[in-house]
Structure formats: structure tokens, C-alpha cells
Structure 1
Amino acid sequence: FERHTQGLTDQQKADLKKKYARAEMLNKAEQVIYMRAFDISEHYRQNWQGTGFKAQLVAPNKAAALRYKAFLDELGAVTSEVIISPPDEREGFDEIDAEESTDAVVAFWQRMMKRYGSEDDYNKQIVNAFKFGDEPEILIVVDKLLTGFDAPRNTVLYLARRLKDHTLLQAIARVNRLYEDESGARVKDFGFVIDYVGVLGELDQALSTYSALEGFEAADLEVALTSIHEETKALPQRHAELWDLFKTVKNRQDEEAFEQLLADEKLRADFYERLSAYAKTLAIALSSERFITDTPEQKLRAYKNDLKRFVNLKAAVKLRYAESVDYRDFEPRIQKLLDTHISASEVVQLNTPVNIFDEAAFQKVVEEQGAGSEKTLGAKADMIAHATKRAINERLEQDPAFYEKFSKLIQQAIDDYRAKRLSDLEYLQRVTEIKDGVVSRKGDDLPPVLNGDADAAAVYGLLRPFVASHLSDAEQTQTTAAEAAKAVWDIFRRNRKVGYWDDLDAQRRTMNEIDDYLYDEVKGARGIALSTEEMDEI
């Protein structure tokens, strides 16, 4: 009970205690089912609920399956459904002479047939809801669906009945199925088996007698199942490996030093990998009763506090260095770990990179980085610098001539700061000036005829160097390049159509018209001696 109530308020503990005490009013057989249902309910709620992962509960017989369902419903923390065969079919360890149990199973079956119409629809609808819906979270079975059942989200197997030989192995195989989300990212590497009846001790015998496994090496078969205690043994090592990345930081309380160290992209990637491995192992450990009872409270607190610290550090550097948020940042098991063991107010939320072209929103985020926090000028400058760098890279192909200039300027500022050639204040001033130049296109020196026409302005940036190499007069260069830019963009606009980039004829027609214009108008009429090579490059 103490394990289940860790971190709960007094009111929540009192409510749970009432449910816990309910077992005293039951006979011994039902007490066992109730206490297991209580444990299953709390284990799933604390570790898996809301992650998208599901569980199966294997009951010893149909009557027991219905009692598990009734107790889980009474506890009210998780949703469940029962899948069994008709009352006249033997399943599990059914006691034929248990009249009361038989009556309950018959009554349940009649309700299901009335609701679903047929056994096939009963099975199909509940299984599909389990596979693809949010509910039920737990599917209660006896023999059905233990083998030949493909539901990759099925991650936890609660064994409340003895399974033998191939049935045991296939049940483990089903829960061990890999699972990828809609984006194709793997979010499940293995499943979990919670054994209430000591059946896993017979796994060695099952492995040796199962004919389908003939020819496999014993060592390969042993990894079919790993004790959770073996996995939790890796926690101190994962914890140490995470801290080892920051061994050069003299003051462990210096958050700015941690963030600056992670300016290196490869080191950040290594940090993310180690943090993910640590968090996953900690999640497994905290789902184990033995780990919680055997680990000193001070050590448990240190593990949780370090998780909180490094998750917040990850959020800070993602924002500081303008990194995209991807699926790995929201791994469901890690999110559940944070939700269960760390207060939401203590965890910094990950945000998408800041858009420098939304001045109001950008300034708000920058100010929030300073107000009420210990963020340095360098941290704010880094955020501006890397957000600007990201914006430049995203737009580089739109206007190479303009953005390449600022790309070099922003990288030079970052390099100078890392080499300590700039103070925090100088760095902030320089990157702010560069960011403002990118946003306002300051220094673009566009002719008035191109104002408001970003596409023609981009073409102008490409054409101007070619024109300038043949003309000495700056004003004439600007006028000629601007007129040519508008003409070239008009050609493209005339030929543009839906599916343009898939239409080779439209592309060739555009290129031929541009080539004719450069040859007839720019070279012929204007006297700009563009070479064939220059025209091809344009």
C-alpha cells in the first residue's frame, strides 16, 4: 500500500485506503483476485495509462475473468473488457461444478450476445477497440487471444494463471512485438510480463521442450525474457554516463556552463541519447516494487531530481540552439514517468523553434528567458543567433545572394563568441543587429521598382553580380539588373501552373524564354556582353 501511495495527497491516500480495505470483506479466494486487481490497476495507472500502450490480464478461468473485470470497474482507475469463449466450451481451469460461477458466465455471455449480436462481432469489436482505440486499456482473457493475436500496442502481460510450454512462449512473444507509431518511429522495443503465479520459473523447461525452437542456441533463447531486476542494475551506470558528459564543468550548479558545453551539436546528440536511455531505465526501475523498497529514499530522490534537471536542460538547449522538436522528445513512456514522479510545474515544456519574423512573439520568448530567471546575456544572444541561423538556412534557396551574406555574418559572430573574442554584451548586440537585418532586409539596397516583390528581388540578387562584372556604373548596374529581374520573373510567372515542377515541358519552355531574353534583350539590346557560360549559370 505504501508503494502505491507514494507521492499522493492525504485525500488521495485516504480514498485509496478505502478501496484497499475492501479486501477484508471478501472470502479468501476473492481476496486474492481483489488484491491482484488492485495491484494491476495501480501498476497500470502509474506506469502506462495515457501512453497509448495496452495490457492483457490472463485469468485462470471465465468466472475469475469476470471477477477481475468487476473489481477493476469498482476500483475505477482503468478500463477493461473480457474476451472469453461461450459458456459450454472449456477454457482455462473452469470448474464445471461451480454452479454460481457458471450462472455468472452464462449471464455475462447472454449480455454480450444481446449487445453485439454474435460471437464473431463480440470478438471483433472488442479486439478492434483494444488495438486501435483508447479503451479498453486492459483486455482480460483466459485462453483466447493468447496465441495468434497481433496487437503491437499490447505491452504488459499480467499473468494470473499458469501457462505452459508453447502457450507461455507465444504469449511472451505477442507482448514482445515491436511497435512503431504513425510516423514510423519505434516507440516500443520490448514488453513486460508481471507474474503473479510463479510461472516464469518454468520458462527454461518451456524453451527446451518447444519443438518450434529446435536449432536455436540456448543463449539466444535466454534473451526471450530478462528479469526487470537485471535491467534496473544498469541504472547506476546510465546515471553515471549521463553525468560523465559534464565532467569538465567544475561547478555542478552552473547551469550556464552546462548549456554552453552543449553548444557542440554532436555532444548535444550524445546527451539526448544518454538522457533517453537513463529515463527509460529509470521508468522500468520505478515500476518495480523491489527496486523502490530496496533503494534508499535519498537515492530515489537523487535519481528523480537528476531526471528533472536534465529534462529541463534539454528543453533549455533545444530553445537556445533553435532545434526542432521531434518524436523522441515526447516518448510516451518518458512523458508518463515525468507525469507520475515529477510535478508538471517543475518541468520546462519543450517548444518549437522561435520564428524571428514574428517580432512580438520572438521578443516575448527572449524576455521570458531573462525575466525571473538566471539566464545570462550569452544565453539570450545564443537563442537569437541560432534562431536567426535557422531562419537563414530555411530561406537560403529562396534568395541565396541575400541570405548567404547574413549566414556568414551570423556564423562569424557565433565563432567569435565561442573563441571568447566577444563579451556576452557584444555578442548580444551583434546578433541582434544581424537578426534585424535579416528581418527587415536591411542592407539589401533594392531599387524602388522591386519594393514589395520578394520573388523579383531574389532574382535581382542573383543577376546583379553578373551585370556588375560588365558595367562600371553602379546606378546603371542597379537599373539594368532590376529590369532584367522583373522580366525574368514575369517569364516564370507566365509559365507557372499546377504541377509545374513535374512538367518537364513547362520547365524547358521557361528556360528557353529566359535564355532568349538574356540573349536578345540583355546582351543584344543593352549591350551587356554575357557569355554563354554566364547565361547557363543564371
Structure 2
Amino acid sequence: MEQTIESDSKSFTLNYIDWKTPSNNSFHVVAEFSVERARSTETVRPDIVLFVNGIPFSVIECKSPKVDVEQAVSQNIRNQGDDYIPRLFTFVQQVMAVNKNAAQYATAGTPKKFWGVWKEQGKEQEDKDIDIDKAVNTALSDDVKSQLFSGEFSTARNFFDELEAEGKRLVTEQDKSIYSLCRPERLLDLVYRFTLFDGGIKKVARYQQYFVIKATIARIKKLGSSSQSAEGSSSRQGGVIWHTQGSGKSLTMVMLTRAMALDPQLINPRIILVTDRDDLDKQLGNTFAACGLSRERATSGRNLVKHLKDKVGLITTLIHKFEKGWVAEKFVDESQDIFVLVDESHRTNFGSLAARMRQMLPNACFLGFTGTPLLKKEKNNFAKFGGLIEPHYTIKQAVADEAVLPLLYEGRHVEMEQNQSAIDLWFERHTADLSKEQKADLKKKYARAEMLNKADQVIYMRAFDISEHFRANWQGTGFKAQLVAPGKSAALKYQKFLQEIGTVTTEVVISSPDTREGHEEVDEGPTDDVGKFWEKMMKRFGSEDEYTKQVINQFKHGDDPEILIVVDKLLTGFDAPRNTVLYLCRTLREHTLLQAIARVNRLYEGKEFGYIVDYASVLGELDEALTMYEAFEGFDEDDLAGTLTSINEEVFKLPQRYSDLWDLFKEVKNSKDEEAYEVLLADNELREEFYECLSAFSKSLGIALSSEQFIMNSDENKLKKYKDDLKRFQNLKAAVKLRYAEAIDYRDYEPKIKKLLDTHIQANEVTQLNEPVNIFDEKMFNMVKEDQGVYQTKTTASKADTIAHATKRSISENMDEDPVFYEKFSKLIQEAIDDFKARRISDLEYLNRVIDIRNKVATKQHDDVPENIRENDEACAYFGLVKPQIEKIAMLYDMDEDQIDTIASETSLAIQRIIDVHWKVDFWDDSDIQKTAMNDIDDYLYDEVKEQHGVALSLEQMDEIIEKTMQVAKHRRHH
């Protein structure tokens, strides 16, 4: 900020926040903070807003314990939308959603699926619990209570006084989360050191990132205590950070780098990021760049040495460049302020390459990062290296926090020597939902395997099974799959056979072939399939980088390919959230297997699990502890907890969910009486419970029908019963949604449920879920009345319910356009529904009454307004707001009904004229023109109503008329 006094200009740095000393700032809390909506005179009131020096820092939405915290998340996200109060969130750093028993937090702009939970970790956790208990149980002074419980909150004081008088209360999850995230020093710390932009998207640390970075910073400040260096060395103590894959390891590295740079006790830290693969080097570098941290990439050994000599602040390099740099220059940098961050340190930290790195940087602090558990044999090495930096973060914790998805495992085996009866059974079970032509085509493709040699038969049969599994369970859902082949040649064969079968689309991503292989004569191109494929890809894309980048981009964002075939490439460091199924056709072990299966555990809309389908018998049927298998025998059992779940565990839930669904209808005496089911579901809460149970049953059935073991081992009649009842309950759902005029339920369009219905139930067997009846559509309305279309088989009561609830819904949707008119008919329609439920009227009387109400609502019959405005719908809406205000004071002036109507109708027409005069296309975006119109209405109410008619409205009455008529005008004229 520049300031000039008597021609003397000086610049000053103005700090809006004192980050270093939180107590120097002013902190305020405002409940029900009123903010005017964009392009509107209406206001939105977030429950709690926290201010730091007058700047809104945090917005908290609060809900009752009976209401899921997800609703508070949704409301917070809605308020950030363009039509609500987006300008408030320009400043807001943190958003929270709480009820007594749960809390979630995020930054402004965060999608729902990325909101997180907070859990305190570290040694001071017990102390914090004591602090929270003390805070919630400390009595407030009378002065504070008087300030706090004032205005509209005054009625709450008695409750809190009584609560306080009862003695201490227990600490809730809400208390813990607010204390952890909103106490001044923590809030400022999170915003200053742990909030960043990643590719323009604001992100805040998850609790495991926050605490491990805090622990790491405290650790590296200690000089001369490293167990990895010789005695007397001045290096700092390093260590290993183990945070499971998918939990934000790259961002942890970015945040740690930033925390080092901001720490006043670490003077000019220099950071080197080390990986062992070129694609990971680029990926990590891109992450840092996206977060606004510029880095220099070591392009060679000499280039690495140059960056070290130039004391570059942030370098990324491949580990082998240390060896090349040493051979070139024998350079040693003895600085103790070098921090080496090693990605996937279980691979890169040991051996001659790592030894050369330590030789060149003898006093550096080495910090390893791994996303997989440590092998037993590695733990000793890591102890020498500096030990594990706590807290670590396991797959079990990440799944519990919903930071990643649980993985379902299924071992599948393709029998090569099948007898004919086994083949017939397979086709009978797997093609039950296909047409005759589709079955014949499938058998023809199946028979193709007999023409191949034994080795290729295995690949073909697996490709056939993969094709059918993906078609039946995933195709068309938007989810993708990855196939891991045992080698490059096999990868191409999988693609060839999948293309022959023709059901799914594929691409292959492999690294370049060894150019020493596949040549028979000098200057001849590669003769093997891999070489030819590679030449084709290079012609198509130009370079290996471009080939990999474009195929990955298509897989991540396009419809095709549906299945990506890989060998080693893209088994690690590859993040595609749509990737849902991993088909394992090769044996993997230890870290490689753990990294491969984590490709499908990322969060994505509508995705509830990642699926591992194992054709290589890596874990067989997964009926033992994971460490019983050779692939994982080197790990500790506790470290692997929660890694994989047998698909059978989800399948076992199916009978209970089926039973839960039927239990809702125990009261129905005749199981064939569809009307009884529909009437029972008139209760809103029971209907919602029905939808939840049906959704749970559908999901379990979908998972079960993707399991080979379930399909082949289940009783055929039981399978048919499950499918028939799914169809029946889906039809019931469609019927009651129509009958009770409910909006489309987006659970019906969850990819897996939609796929289940599309695959296993014929299209003509399920009533399509339609939008509710539109009472203003005469054609649709007549279909209900005259028993046409889906209404042919409906009872009189069902038709009456359909019309009543459709009318009720329309009234609710249009209420803001004419509150008085619609409120009147809302009461009439509810009275009709209540009278029928109480059996005070017959089915036919119910139908006739709701038809009459519907007709009046649909035709907007204003029977109770003056003749001069009866055909003017907008003026009628204003009339309904003005008349009650005049009636309040009519007795003072001895006015009769006609006089009241005359003044109210003239005023309504005047308000309409004033808005018309000022109306323009962007009226609701122009606050000045709105204020002018409001002033003119105010003048009319004062000058005309008071001066001409002698009726003196109070200022409060005039303000209420202006506010409400402008709100109605906005809803009527918004478009």
C-alpha cells in the first residue's frame, strides 16, 4: 500500500492477517448471517460464519442429529452456486457441515465426494480431549449469555440454562470437530500452511497429512541426531512416511515442501524430489507446478550437478542421475539444509544408486514416501534410514474415512477341458437375458477357441469371459476397466481376441520394445507383433509420450476405450477415477500387486467399490488371511487389514437385504394385492425406507450377479425369484412415485442399478419411471381421468391420489408466484387427502373433489378478486399481498369490503405498472434499477394510498408490501 504525505511517498506492506501470532487478530462469530442472493432481493442465512479481522473465513451449516450431515454438505454447496451467495465464498477458506454426531469439512468449491472427516492424532490427543471437555463444560457468564441469547435466540436460553444446571455433559463429535478445526491457532495454521491450489482447485489437508507434516517438521529441525549418519554428523533425522495409495501422497509432498519453506527455523531449505521412473518424475513435477511451485528438472547427470552447484531451491530427478553425475564430476554437497524427498522409497532407497545419492549429499535429510505397507525385511532397513514417521495411514483407515473405496476380490478360473454339460449350464445361466440371435452369436464366438493352440486358447477364453463380464455388469455405465497381461505379446493377443469378439472397445499401453529383439536382417524393421504394433503407434501419435498421453486421456475422459490393456506401465502412479475393474491375467507380488489393485480404489460419482477379478490365481478364493498367500507373505497381517474383501462377503448380504425389503410389507394380508402395497406406501417415511431397502437390495443383487461363483452355484429358482421380485418392486416404485407425485429419484439412475435393470430385466417388463403428472397438461390429465395408458388398471382411489398429489406438487412448485392463491388451495387439497384417509369420504367423492380443486388451480380461477383485475394474473398475485395489509387497519377508517378491494386492486395495478416502466432484460442483475422501482412503489404507497385514499399504512407495512411484491415479481419474471 502506498501513502503520500506532503509529496513524500512511502510503501507499506499491509497484512490483513497476523499469521504468526493468532492472538493479534480479532475473531467474531455470527449466527444466521444474512447475505443477499445474487440477482435477487432475497437473502440466504448460513447458520454460522466465523470472521477473522472482519473477513469471513469459515461457514458452518448445522443440522439436527435426526438429519444426515450430508444435507448440510449439500446446502453448503448449494449456497456457493451462482444463484445463491457465491460472493461470500470468495473469501471463505473453510466450510463445515455438522450435526451432533458427525462433521465434515472442505474448502469452498469442493465437490461433495471430496469432503472429509477430521480426527485428532499424535501425542497431544489426550490433552486436547481434556481441553474440549473443559471448554464445553465451562459456565458462561450472565453478561455473555445476555449477548448470546438475544433477539431470535432468546427462546433458547432456558434450554441451555437447564442443561447447564444438570451438570457436566459429554463431548460430542460436533464439539471435537469444531474445536479441532475452528480454534484460532488451528484455523489460521490450516489456511496459511495447509491450503493450496492444485490446478486452480482449492484443497485443504486431510488430518493424516496435517499431523504427519507437523511430526516431520518437528523431526527434521533436530540436528546431529540422525541414525543414518556417522556419529558427529550434523545432518538431520529423516524417516519414512507411509500413507496408503489414493490418500493424497503427492499433495503431502507438496504441503511438506511448502511447510519447510514457511518455517522460520529452516533457513533457505533446498528440496530434491527423487523417483525411479520417468513418468513418475513428470507426474510429480506437474503436481508441484499445478500447486504453484516452480521446479527445475534434472535432464542429465551433469545437469543435476549444475542445479546442485547453483543451489536451486526445488529439483526433480531420477535416481540414476546421481550415478551419472558422480561419474561426470565427483561432486559433493555437504549442506545440511538439503532435503531429499524420495517417492516410492521401498523401490528407490537401497542399492548402489541410493548409495551414490548419499555419497553426493552426505549431510542431507532423507525423507521416504510409500503408499504400500513395509515388508518385514524392509522394516530393519527403514529403521536404519530413520524409522517410520508417525502417524502412518493404512488402507483400513482410508476406507473408513471414505478417502478411498473398498476393493472386492473375485478369483475366476477359465476351464479349458470342459465337458458339454458344463458348457451348456454356463450358457444357460449367463445368457438367460439374451435373445435367440444373441445366444447363437455368443456360442459361435465361444467355439472359436477350439481352433487355437493351447497357449492362445487360455488367452481367448479369458478374453471371452472378460468380454461377457464387462458387457453384463459395466458396459454403458461410464465406468472403465484395466486388464493386466503377462507380457507385451500377450497384451496384443488379448486386444486381438477382444476385438474379434467385438463387444468391448480396447487400447493397449506398453513401453517401447527392446530394439535389439525381433530383427532377422540388417536394416529390416521388427518382425514380431510387438515391433509392428509399436511402429503403428509411432506413426499414429508421433512419440511415446504423445501415445501414452492421448490413450490415457481417452480412457479417463472419453467413452472409448472401455478396457485399457497394460503390462507394467500404468500399474503405479496412474490415477483414473472411472477405472473400476482390474482384470488380473498375470501373477503379481508384494508391492507391485498392492500398487496395481489400488488403480481401482479412487472415488468417483456412483462408484461404491473397486473390483479385482483374478484369472491368475494370485489369491484363489481369498478364504484365508492375506499373509497366508505367497503374494503377500512378506507383510505383517495388521498392515494389510482392509486391503481386499472377498466378493462373497457382499454376496452374503443379499438374503438379508431381500428379507428387509419384504419385511416392510408384513401388514399386507394378500401378497397379490398391488393396491394394498400402494396404499401402505402413502406414508412418506415408509416410502423413503422402501426406496432405501430397494436400492440396497438392487446393489447387492448387482454385485452377486457379477460373481461367477454365485451364478453357477445358486439355485435356479432362487435366481429367478430374486429377478422377478426386483422387477415387481421396481414397478411398485414407479407406481407410487406417480401416485404420490414425487420427483424422479436419481438413485434409479445410479449406473450400477440402471445396468442391473437393463441387463437382467426385459425393457417391457418394468414400468418406466416418469416425471409426475403435469396438471396443466390437459392430455395427460385426461389420461388419468379416462383410464388410458398406465392408468388403465388403476383404482378410483389410485387415480384420486395421483391427481391430488400432482396438484399438491404443482402448488408447492408455484407457491412463490402467487402465495395467497396457492396457499388457499394447498389447504383444500390437504383437507381432501386427510378426509379420504380418515374414510370420511368415499373413493368417488375423493376423486370428484380433487378434480374440482385441480381445475381451479390449473385455470387460475380467481373468484374472490375484483372484476377489474380478475383476468390479470400478475395483479391478482400482488392483490393477495396488499389486501391483508389494508384489512389490518380497515377498522380505523370504517371501510367496507368493496372499499378495501378497490384500494387493494388499484395498488396492485400500480405496482405492476411501476415494474413494467423500469423493466429490462437484466433487471434482476441491476441493483440500482431495482432500488428505483422499490422507491417508486414506496412513493405510491405514501402519496396515493395515504394522500388520495386517506389510508395511512405504517412504515413496517409498506416495507413488507414492497419486499413481498418484489419477491413475487422475481419468481414470475425471472426468465
**How high is the TM-score relative to the length of structure 1?**
0.91
Residue 48 of structure 1 aligns with which residue? 474
Q: Distance in 1 between matches of 2:906 and 2:674?
A: 54
Residue 113 of structure 1 aligns with which residue? 538
Residue 151 of structure 1 aligns with which residue? 576
Q: Distance in 2 between matches of 1:65 and 1:516?
A: 80
Q: Which runs of 5+ in 2 are unaligned?
A: 1-425, 962-975
Shift of 1:457: 1.5
Contact 1:242–1:271, Cα closer than 8 Å, also in 2 = yes
Shift of 1:485: 0.5
Residue 439 of structure 1 aligns with which residue? 858
Contact 1:54–1:138, Cα closer than 8 Å, also in 2 = yes
Residue 447 of structure 2 aligns with which residue? 21
Structure 1 pair 83/351, CA: closer, same or farther in 2 (3 Å)? same
**One-letter amino acid of the counterpart of residue 934, structure 2:** M
Query: Which whole-Å deviations, capped at 9, do the CAs of 1:47-101 have from their partners, x for residues lacking one?
Result: 11111111111000000001111111111111111111111189xxx9999xx99
Check if 1:391 corresponds to 2:810.
yes
Structure 1 pair 175/367, CA: closer, same or farther in 2 (3 Å)? farther
Query: Which whole-Å deviations, capped at 9, do the CAs of 1:267-298 have from their partners, x for residues lacking one?
Result: 11111111111001001111112111221111
Counterpart selection for 1:235 from 641, 644, 654: 654
Shift of 1:445: 3.1
Structure 1 pair 378/64, CA: closer, same or farther in 2 (3 Å)? same
Shift of 1:516: 1.9
Q: Distance in 2 between matches of 1:110 and 1:521?
A: 87
> Aligned-residue CA RMSD in angstroms?
2.5
Shift of 1:307: 0.4
Contact 2:433–2:762, Cα closer than 8 Å, also in 1 = no
Shift of 1:534: 2.8
Q: Distance in 2 between matches of 1:394 and 1:453?
A: 21
Residues 15-414 of structure 1: pairs in structure 2 closer than 5 A: 15-88=441-514, 103-180=528-605, 187-200=606-619, 203-204=626-627, 209=634, 218=638, 221-365=640-784, 367=786, 373-414=792-833
**One-letter amino acid of the counterpart of residue 76, structure 1:** G
Contact 2:433–2:760, Cα closer than 8 Å, also in 1 = yes
Structure 1 pair 144/508, CA: closer, same or farther in 2 (3 Å)? same
Shift of 1:114: 1.0
Q: Distance in 1 between matches of 2:863 and 2:518?
A: 87
**One-letter amino acid of the counterpart of residue 529, structure 2:** A
Shift of 1:224: 2.2
Shift of 1:511: 2.9
**One-letter amino acid of the counterpart of residue 295, structure 1:** S
Residue 117 of structure 2 aligns with which residue? none
**One-letter amino acid of the counterpart of residue 803, structure 2:** I
Contact 1:63–1:101, Cα closer than 8 Å, also in 2 = no
Between 434-443 and 34-43, report the one with greater CA deviation.
Answer: 434-443
Q: Distance in 2 between matches of 1:477 and 1:89?
A: 96
Between 13-22 and 313-322, report the one with greater CA deviation.
Answer: 13-22
Structure 1 pair 96/318, CA: closer, same or farther in 2 (3 Å)? farther
Higher relative helix content: 1
Q: Please state whether the residue corresponding to 2:503 is helix, strand or coil.
A: coil
**One-letter amino acid of the counterpart of residue 125, structure 1:** Q
Shift of 1:333: 1.0
Residue 430 of structure 1 aligns with which residue? 849
Q: Distance in 1 between matches of 2:595 and 2:785?
A: 55
Structure 1 pair 369/379, CA: closer, same or farther in 2 (3 Å)? farther
Query: Which whole-Å deviations, capped at 9, do the CAs of 1:473-519 have from their partners, x for residues lacking one?
Result: 33333222211111122223333445544544444333332222112
**How high is the TM-score relative to the length of structure 2?**
0.51
Contact 1:369–1:380, Cα closer than 8 Å, also in 2 = no
Residue 183 of structure 1 aligns with which residue? none
Contact 1:370–1:380, Cα closer than 8 Å, also in 2 = no
Structure 1 pair 490/249, CA: closer, same or farther in 2 (3 Å)? same
Counterpart selection for 1:450 from 862, 869, 888: 869
Shift of 1:150: 1.2
Q: Please state whether the residue corresponding to 1:178 is helix, strand or coil.
A: coil
Check if 1:483 corresponds to 2:906.
yes
Q: Please state whether the residue corresponding to 2:816 is helix, strand or coil.
A: coil
Contact 1:87–1:102, Cα closer than 8 Å, also in 2 = no
Q: Please state whether the residue corresponding to 2:570 is helix, strand or coil.
A: coil
Contact 2:484–2:566, Cα closer than 8 Å, also in 1 = yes
Between 146-155 and 101-110, report the one with greater CA deviation.
Answer: 101-110
Contact 2:651–2:704, Cα closer than 8 Å, also in 1 = yes
Contact 1:57–1:139, Cα closer than 8 Å, also in 2 = yes
Q: Distance in 1 between matches of 2:708 and 2:784?
A: 42
Structure 1 pair 371/240, CA: closer, same or farther in 2 (3 Å)? closer
